[in-house]
Amino acid sequence: MKMSKLFVQTLREFPNDAEAISHKLLVRAGFIKKLANGIYTYMPLAQRVLTKISNIVREEMNASGAQELLMPFVQPAEVWQKSGRWQVYGKELLRCKDRHDNDMCLAPTHEEVITSVVSDVVNSYKQLPLNVYQIQSKFRDEIRPRFGLLRGREFIMKDAYSFHTSQEDLEREYEVMAKTYTKIFNRCGLETKAVQSDSGAIGGSVSHEYMVLTDTMVGENDVFYCDSCDYSANSNHAISILPTVVTDGGFSKEEIVDTPNVKTIDDLAKFLNVNPNCILKAVAYIYDSKPALVMIRGDKEIEETKLMNALNALEIRPMEENEVSELLNSSAGFISYRGIDKTKVKVLFDNTAKGMKNFVLGANEKDKHIVGANLEDGIEFVDVSLVKEGEYCPVCKKPLKVTRGIEVGNIFQLGTKYSKPMNACYTDVDGQLKPYIMGCYGIGVSRTMAAAIEKYHDDFGIVWPKEIAPYHVDIVPVNVEDELQARVANELYEKLCALGIEVVIDDRNERAGVKFKDADLIGFPIRITVGKTISEGLVEFKTRADGEMVKVSVDEAIKKCQTLLN
């Protein structure tokens, strides 16, 4: 490819609407063009990277025995009504009508379509197991599209769906996919960690996310992990063993005390001279338009995904102050579970409330708290608390660490979550009709490209791993008007192309500095400069990753390319 012909426009400056480094670099290096919020054109350089990632995905999925197909992107409401998700999938599902006034939507995922296709074709246990996948654009009207390709509205996903006659067989395939995923990401030059996760809107019970661990701010997930054993989990799923702390407030009797204007846990702890561990905190929420109250130990915070699951809710938000007085007949900062009408308000107790004694509790009245309170018998506890770094690993009891991660893929054991409501069945050995037992397996193809940049970049631009680089080599003749330089550069270009190496020749009549800047920005793994030293038969060979530059002969340069790119 000649640089003068390549359909790319690099920019001098970073775009000012970008926060994430991958977003900044993808735009500045001319990989993507924004059309609307969260919607981008993949320019030729990006398309080459995406094709490489897709091909790796394809090769490994095929090798695992899965088969590729392609499903419709625009879907009728019926399949979604059948699974029950038309009503419950929130605003991320972009709904529209066709000319006949039929409800339609843009596919955010394909469980319902694949389940209906398979149930048409697969009638017998003899046709199972089956694993089918596709690589395709998805549309989700994300509430906060951000970070460029990391959270777009339109994005490319590989989604696979497997069908089984037993849980054991699903578990076998789940393991096959786990191994396949590790291989796929390794081949893309990315190390990933498989962490336990919440199964979210897709449902099912067991699931793992594949995280690229980053120290940049953009990882949207906190991952808790243990160095001593292999426990690791998304914060929305992580559990811990708490350090032993005093949870006895030491008050000898229960009584109401004045706590004027003391609203925060810290202020209250200071005012009453107790540890926050001895305060039972009440946090009020609205879930699916209904009120809920969560009781949790004062030093702990609520993990909202866990809370959503415990409430079986689609949406939650903290209660506003006026709602606290209207719905709970209480006062913000002084809320208690006592005296709340449990037929109207859902009250949950977090596990951390267990074992608390003689504690401090709101009195449901402004400026008043109860001290020396104790829980009544028969209370059920749930886990809705956020783990903190330093709490202990639930497996081996060593301190947990936390890091940020970008989720590039996930695997789920769905069970019969879709097959049952959609009545998607096969006839088993015993002649009985049974719903398929399903798994699903996603990879964010476009997110993987961005995650690679988050991981591999420097002050000058992208540093592509060779496996997914848009081109391998950039040949830079310093002065294209110099006959010898131009001729050698062109010959080198022809030779490398003939060897199947992907090369760009920067034939633009630009200053060398401009060409070097673009080479670094775009991130070619190798740059070969043909300059003045060509009169001595030498070119300059630079590897992007370590910045190393050496003078070598043209033949040696070719050999080095072959070795490095192998």
517 φ, ψ to 5°? -60, -45
Alpha carbon of residue 165 to chain centroid: 30
The span of 152-160, 254-262, 368-376, 381-389 binding ligand ATP (CB under 6 A) equals: 152-160
| CB contact at 8 A, 361 and 339 | no
- For ligand ATP, the closer of residues 213 and 269 by Cβ is 213
Q: Taking CB under 6 A as the rule, does residue 93 contact ligand ATP? A: no
Site pattern 170..209 for ligand ATP (x: CB under 6 A) = ------------------------------x-x-------
- For ligand ATP, the closer of residues 412 and 541 by Cβ is 412
Which residues are bridge partners to 314 per DSSP?
Answer: none
Residues 208, 297, 447, 455: which binds ligand ATP (CB under 6 A)?
Answer: 447
Nearest residue to 522 (alpha-carbon basis) of 11, 10, 29, 4:
29
Q: What is the closest distance, in whole angstroms, from the C-beta atom of residue 407 to ligand ATP in the complex?
A: 5
- For ligand ATP, the closer of residues 200 and 465 by Cβ is 200
The span of 254-262, 301-309, 442-450, 470-478 binding ligand ATP (CB under 6 A) equals: 442-450
- Rounded Cα distance between 235 and 238, Å, is 5
Site pattern 372..411 for ligand ATP (x: CB under 6 A) = -----------------------------------xxxx-
Residues 40, 42, 133, 155: which binds ligand ATP (CB under 6 A)?
Answer: 155
Q: Taking CB under 6 A as the rule, does residue 237 contact ligand ATP? A: no
Q: What is the closest distance, in whole angstroms, from the C-beta atom of residue 155 to ligand ATP in the complex?
A: 4
Q: Taking CB under 6 A as the rule, does residue 306 contact ligand ATP? A: no
Q: Taking CB under 6 A as the rule, does residue 219 contact ligand ATP? A: no
63 φ, ψ to 5°? -65, -30
Report the residue number whose CB is nearest to ligand ATP.
444
Q: Which amino acid is at 18?
A: A
Question: DSSP strand E in 310-455: where?
Answer: 316-318, 346-350, 359-362, 368-373, 381-382, 401-415, 425-427, 433-435, 437-444
Q: What is the closest distance, in whole angstroms, from the C-beta atom of residue 450 to ligand ATP in the complex?
A: 8
Q: Taking CB under 6 A as the rule, does residue 222 contact ligand ATP? A: no
Question: DSSP strand E in 416-548: where?
Answer: 425-427, 433-435, 437-444, 457-458, 461-462, 473-477, 503-505, 526-530, 538-543
- For ligand ATP, the closer of residues 414 and 503 by Cβ is 414
- For ligand ATP, the closer of residues 108 and 298 by Cβ is 108
Q: What is the closest distance, in whole angstroms, from the C-beta atom of residue 92 to ligand ATP in the complex?
A: 8
Q: Taking CB under 6 A as the rule, does residue 109 contact ligand ATP? A: yes
Residues 30, 129, 152, 291: which binds ligand ATP (CB under 6 A)?
Answer: 152
Q: What is the closest distance, in whole angstroms, from the C-beta atom of residue 157 to ligand ATP in the complex?
A: 5
- For ligand ATP, the closer of residues 22 and 277 by Cβ is 22
Please say whether the dihedral angle defined by the alpha carbons of residues 140, 141, 144 and 145, taken in this order, is positive or negative: positive
| CB contact at 8 A, 186 and 465 | no
CB atoms within 10 A of CB 547: 11
Nearest residue to 118 (alpha-carbon basis) of 550, 439, 544:
439
Residues with Cβ within 8 Å of 75's Cβ and at least 6 positions away in sequence, in order, are: 104, 105, 106, 107, 112, 113
| CB contact at 8 A, 552 and 560 | yes
Q: Which two tokens stand for residue 407?
A: 């989720």
Residues 157, 274, 302, 328: which binds ligand ATP (CB under 6 A)?
Answer: 157
Question: Could you identify the residue written with the tokens 């970049």?
Answer: 457
Q: What is the closest distance, in whole angstroms, from the C-beta atom of residue 217 to ligand ATP in the complex?
A: 16
Q: What is the closest distance, in whole angstroms, from the C-beta atom of residue 322 to ligand ATP in the complex?
A: 32
Q: Which amino acid is at 280?
A: L
Q: What is the closest distance, in whole angstroms, from the C-beta atom of residue 153 to ligand ATP in the complex?
A: 7
The span of 321-329, 440-448, 469-477, 556-564 binding ligand ATP (CB under 6 A) equals: 440-448
- Rounded Cα distance between 318 and 401, Å, is 28
| CB contact at 8 A, 297 and 352 | yes
Q: Taking CB under 6 A as the rule, does residue 148 contact ligand ATP? A: no
Residues 24, 28, 110, 151: which binds ligand ATP (CB under 6 A)?
Answer: 151
| CB contact at 8 A, 323 and 286 | yes
Q: What is the closest distance, in whole angstroms, from the C-beta atom of residue 151 to ligand ATP in the complex?
A: 4
Size of the site for ligand ATP (CB under 6 A): 17
Alpha carbon of residue 330 to chain centroid: 39
Alpha carbon of residue 417 to chain centroid: 22
Q: What is the closest distance, in whole angstroms, from the C-beta atom of residue 236 to ligand ATP in the complex?
A: 9
- For ligand ATP, the closer of residues 57 and 348 by Cβ is 57
Q: What is the closest distance, in whole angstroms, from the C-beta atom of residue 221 to ligand ATP in the complex?
A: 7
Burial of 21 (0-12, 13-18, 19+ CB in 10 A): buried
Binding site for ligand ATP (CB under 6 A): 109, 140, 142, 151-152, 155, 157, 200, 202, 407-410, 442, 444, 446-447
